[in-house]
Amino acid sequence: MHEPTVTPTSVGVRYGFIAGFSLIIVSLIFMLLERSTNSTLAQVLSFLILGGGIVAAYLYFKEHNHSYMSYGQGLGIGAILGSIAGVLGGVFSAIYTTFIDNTILEKAMEMEVQKMEERGLSDEQIEKAVEVAQMFSGPLAMIILSILLYTIGAFFLSLIIAAIMKRNRPEFE
């Protein structure tokens, strides 16, 4: 049996850093342009970067593993990649909102309140939503939420992408 020259963990970490730094660059651009990182464009770009990172990681793994990758290896790579990207993204967001531009969260909250008013929510509903949002706006909460969201997002993307890209090693080789 051939031993892989790379492991799912090493590939997940490597491409997690690549995807994480790519996501940071996109976030930084949106923040510097004073656009909401919650905008549809930012979310689509993040989704594409995460998916592209997963595909690139699978291709790299297969290239160094005699063209084989099991479904489980693909899921593992994706989850690790998402976790690393989440840590990097969360730490960046916490540092940016704490030390560089501490008004960005206020601006984002004002935009969300305005959207809720336009949808016709009552003052009481808006107040409760703001309270909940403020609970998740601290640095530690940002990091934890980022890790969870990116890990889960990457895992769900991996469910699909790994099913398409897997190539199992023959039973009797």
Q: Render pLDDT for 58-110 as a digit per residue (tens, 0 to 9).
A: 999 999 999 999 999 999 999 999 999 999 999 998 999 888 887 877 877 88
**Structure token pair of residue 173:** 């080789």
pLDDT of residue 2: 55
**Structure token pair of residue 146:** 């980022």
Name which residue leads in pLDDT, 53 or 111: 53
Q: Give the burial class of 162: count Cβ atoms within 10 A of its Cβ; 0-12 exposed, 13-18 middle, 19 or more buried.
A: buried
Tell me: the pLDDT tens digits for 151-161?
Answer: 999 999 999 99
Q: What is the pTM of this model?
A: 0.85
Tell me: the pLDDT tens digits for 28-37?
Answer: 888 888 766 6
Q: Give the burial class of 9: count Cβ atoms within 10 A of its Cβ; 0-12 exposed, 13-18 middle, 19 or more buried.
A: exposed
Using the predicted structure, report yes or no on whether residue 142 has a pLDDT greater than 80. Answer: yes
